[in-house]
Structure 1
Amino acid sequence: MTSSTSAAAAQRSSRNPFALVARIPFGWQVLAGLVLGVVLGLVAASLGEVPGAGEDGGPGPNGLTLTLETIGSIFVTLLKALVPPLIFLAIVSSIANLRQVTNAARLAWKTLLWFALTSLIAVVIGIALGLLTSPGSRTGVDASAAEASQTQGGWLDFLVGLVPANFIGLEGSAGDDGTLALSFNALQILVISIAVGIAVLSVGEKADPFLRFTSSALAIVQKLLWWVIRLAPIGTVGLLGNAVASYGWTAIGQLGVFTADVYIGMLVVALVVYPVLLRVSGLSVRSFLRGVWPATSLGFVSRSSLGTMPMTQTVTERMGVPAHYASFAVPLGATTKMDGCAAIYPSLAAIFVANFYGVQLTFTDYLLIVLVCVLGSAATAGMTGATVMLTLTLSTLGLPLEGVGLLLAIDPILDMGRTALNVTGQSLVAVIVAAREKILDREAYAAAAQRAFAEETPGR
């Protein structure tokens, strides 16, 4: 009776398309989403724009492009909706848990040190590529494209941005049509969370009820997070499909050398520097690349380190990094650790702008690029990523801010690779520090090479 029932259930499962899809390893589902997204994006691009479909009555996106855009936008919105509570709950819980760890301060300093070290290596690679190729001297972009960005970064902005506008880190802005849009400042939420976590430690036993509530709420948010993450293959189709259909790929021809420099630099960091650092730390390169793949691929299509942060934390924990440390290192990295946006890209972009305007950079200028890129990622946290970082670099060097406009046409294309490298580096540092501090679960890390994120994370 039991065997016949099981056989019947297995037969029904074999006919259920959802059950069949669920058996496919998650990493392969994301990869299939990438391929399908490119195909649908090419189809959408071939359909062209629809006359009268635009908001101003002009040409607008066709139905397929609009569908892909909507799918991708909903997925990223769902991820970002979980980021504020996840940062707060995870940081507070991790700081509270660190009271049981004797080397908590050492973990924090080691994390920051490795953030700086990997950023330093990345910016040096960017400068080297810029010096070898002189991308601004070999471009077809017209000078009329030069336009200063309306969003600019500065060290004063960083200091002001550290001060929370309110306890929950939310910001509101009024639109031209009278609507009110809410957004969150990740850096301010990070500051609030650290302050609350330290206060919890200071209060002692009286904070135990609050910690129990925090732990329970974190488990609920993580469960919601996992449900959203399971939608990643579908979100990937929409995000990448819309990118292929909407962005100006022809602009690459005018900025071909610069585009190649950025991607070559990122590939050198991801496939040469990171593996060397892993080997030096006694870790398997294959295990890391297989384990981090879901976060890397999601970062590529979502173009959002914060939106990818839940996935980054999940894969980092699955590779054996203790939850109490991963929940501290990953949110910190998502706001301050950006090898793509804040190291390779601004260093190459600064050299491009100097080449374009015929400005000869000195040795001191290159040292300034290194300094700004290593320290500047924190100054751009919670703001508009690479654009703010670029304006910060150009203003520090005294280069024309109008140079930002020269690169905007291909920024979405570059941003895919930049974000993928960002989230990969964030996970890398957590793994390396955990290994060096002997708190990494080596069995879980080794197992990452044998799976492709197939099953649900334990406890999620």
Structure 2
Amino acid sequence: MPRVPLPPFWAQILLGLVLGVLLGWAARTWEVDWLGRALEETGDTFVQLLRLAVGPLVFLAIAVSITKLRNVSGAARLAGRTLLWFLGTSLIAVAIGLAIGLLTDPGAGSGLTPADGSAPETEGSWLDFLTGIVPTDVVTPFTELNVLQIVFLAAVTGVAALRLGERAAPLIAFGEGALALLQKALWWVIRLAPLGSLGLIGRAINEYGWDLIGDYATFTADVYLGCGLVLFGVYPLLLRLAAGVDPLRFFRAAWPALQLAFVSRSSVGTLPVTQKVTERLGVPREYGSFAVPFGATTKMDGCAAVYPALAAIFVAEVFGVGLDLRDYLLIAFVSVIGSAATAGLTGATVMTTLTLSTLGLPLEGVGLLLAIDPVLDMVRTATNVAGQAVVPVVVAARERILDREAYANARGLDAGDLREAA
């Protein structure tokens, strides 16, 4: 039987978002409990399916990508320049966050007081960050989903395989097969993204409505403005000036990944789509298979740059603590160096507590931010994923390994692409 033509992937997600908003509004307005529970279960199930693959996906993607670097000429130079571009763009993003916070005073007129906050259940410190990189065993990082430790294990495994040479060939082949199998299963989950987006956005509207945003109006607007400036200002300039390519072509191809990141709030969960996007944009697969997984666990311009800068200013104003130039420099340092603490998962609590503790601000301020966090995390994650795709394009272009013809003809994912990938 002939297949019924389906709209492009981005249109399916957009339709899910619109329906989710309408159903969430209906559930909240008329207090339809069963509809609210259905939206919650739908969204939670989709996120849980994504999280189920996070541990093995990160390990295999990093380890296999390191072994593939042996086929790339100048691999060490490529890796170093990728890291430098990650750090440089993060510094720009945190500067934008600081500038917006200083201009708008997001916590001054919020009406919130220190009594409204509470200490978080988990927090981060520099000691935890540095000592927590090395796991105590090889099982706990996967059971507790400590992505930073999983990255450490994967990096050690990949480098060791490179050093072994031909003796590691069977293990490398097994890893490549296991990664392909896992990505195939994850593509099945990604095909459910329109349904997942319906549940996630519907749940957010049902639970929070528009009442909560009142106290956080300036802060919410600042986060969306800051991420928007990075997403649609900084990145297009980098693509035009540093890579010499058309930014509109980038967004045309990357739009499905940005939408999926927006609704799933997971950089790692979006990883297969982000990799597909970079390949479609002409980034060599051998290099992209390293840069994208590396970025999905360390490149967080939304969660670890724009947001911590604004959060620190917001908490300082609510608690009546003055910040000086030294504090702002510390915010920039923490944001650039500590971004791996967010590790590509939903939320940025660890990064926020790391920033607040470094500045000596009350950790109870995190309790103020958790109330509005799901609404903010969507745009933060979309910004993260955009940066994870932009930097490989820029580096590939500057190293003259970008397929510019493929970039010029790049398009977004459609239903046929999803069927092929799944």
Which of 222, 240, 249 pairs up with 1:261? 222
Which of 78, 84, 105 pairs up with 2:55? 84
Distance 1:405 1:101 in 2: 46
With structure 2 as the length reference, what TM-score do the two structures score?
0.94
Q: CA deviation at 1:168?
A: 4.6
Q: Report how many residues are paired.
A: 420
Cα 1:401–1:93, aligned 2, differ >3 Å: closer, same or farther?
Answer: closer
Q: For residues 45-60 of structure 1, what are the structure 2 equivalents within 5 Å?
A: 45-48=28-31
CA contact (8 A) 1:27 1:454 kept: no
Distance 1:44 1:68 in 2: 9
**Bigger Cα displacement from structure 2, 231-240 vs 308-317:** 308-317
- 1:205 aligns to 2:166 (yes or no): yes
Residue 151 of structure 1 aligns to a residue whose secondary structure is coil
Which of 315, 327, 333 pairs up with 2:277? 315
Which residue of the partner structure matches residue 21 of structure 2? Answer: 38
Which residue of the partner structure matches residue 5 of structure 1? Answer: none
Which of 101, 104, 107 pairs up with 1:136? 107
Q: CA deviation at 1:215?
A: 2.2
Residue 107 of structure 2 aligns to a residue whose secondary structure is helix
- 1:123 aligns to 2:94 (yes or no): yes
With structure 1 as the length reference, what TM-score do the two structures score?
0.86
- 1:284 aligns to 2:246 (yes or no): yes
Identity across matched positions, percent: 58
Residue 417 of structure 2 aligns to a residue whose secondary structure is coil
Which residue of the partner structure matches residue 336 of structure 1? Answer: 298
Which residue of the partner structure matches residue 55 of structure 1? Answer: none
Residue 338 of structure 1 aligns to a residue whose secondary structure is coil
Distance 2:421 2:374 in 1: 36
- 1:164 aligns to 2:102 (yes or no): no
Larger Rg: 1
CA contact (8 A) 1:83 1:309 kept: no
Which of 361, 367, 379 pairs up with 2:329? 367
What does the per-residue CA deviation read over 1:382-419, in whole Å, with 9 as the maximum and x for residues that have no partner? 78742221211111111222222222221111111111
Distance 2:57 2:371 in 1: 34
Q: For residues 220-235 of structure 1, what are the structure 2 equivalents within 5 Å?
A: 220-235=181-196
CA contact (8 A) 2:70 2:162 kept: yes
Which residue of the partner structure matches residue 408 of structure 1? Answer: 370
Distance 2:41 2:279 in 1: 31
CA RMSD of aligned residues (A): 2.0
Which residue of the partner structure matches residue 302 of structure 1? Answer: 264
What does the per-residue CA deviation read over 1:94-131, in whole Å, with 9 as the maximum and x for residues that have no partner? 22221122211111111111111111111111111111
What does the per-residue CA deviation read over 1:69-102, in whole Å, with 9 as the maximum and x for residues that have no partner? 2122222222222222222222222222211222
Cα 1:317–1:161, aligned 2, differ >3 Å: closer, same or farther?
Answer: farther
Structure 2 residue ranges without an equivalent (≥5):
none
Q: What amino acid is the match of 1:202?
A: R
Which residue of the partner structure matches residue 208 of structure 2? Answer: 247
CA contact (8 A) 2:118 2:368 kept: yes
Distance 2:195 2:401 in 1: 35
Distance 2:69 2:237 in 1: 30
Distance 1:372 1:233 in 2: 36
What does the per-residue CA deviation read over 1:279-303, in whole Å, with 9 as the maximum and x for residues that have no partner? 0111111111111111111111112
Q: CA deviation at 1:183?
A: 3.3
Q: What amino acid is the match of 2:399?
A: E
Which residue of the partner structure matches residue 179 of structure 2? Answer: 218
Distance 2:136 2:201 in 1: 35
Q: CA deviation at 1:344?
A: 0.8
Q: For residues 189-200 of structure 1, what are the structure 2 equivalents within 5 Å?
A: 189-200=150-161
Cα 1:275–1:431, aligned 2, differ >3 Å: closer, same or farther?
Answer: same
Distance 2:391 2:355 in 1: 25
Which of 70, 75, 78 pairs up with 2:41? 70
Q: CA deviation at 1:265?
A: 0.8
Q: What amino acid is the match of 2:115?
A: S
Residue 110 of structure 2 aligns to a residue whose secondary structure is coil
What does the per-residue CA deviation read over 1:335-370, in whole Å, with 9 as the maximum and x for residues that have no partner? 211111111111111111222233221111111111
Q: CA deviation at 1:267?
A: 0.8
Distance 1:70 1:383 in 2: 19
Q: What amino acid is the match of 1:241?
A: G
Q: CA deviation at 1:324?
A: 2.1
Q: What amino acid is the match of 2:234?
A: V
CA contact (8 A) 1:37 1:240 kept: yes
- 1:184 aligns to 2:145 (yes or no): yes
Q: What amino acid is the match of 1:93?
A: V
Q: CA deviation at 1:169?
A: 5.1
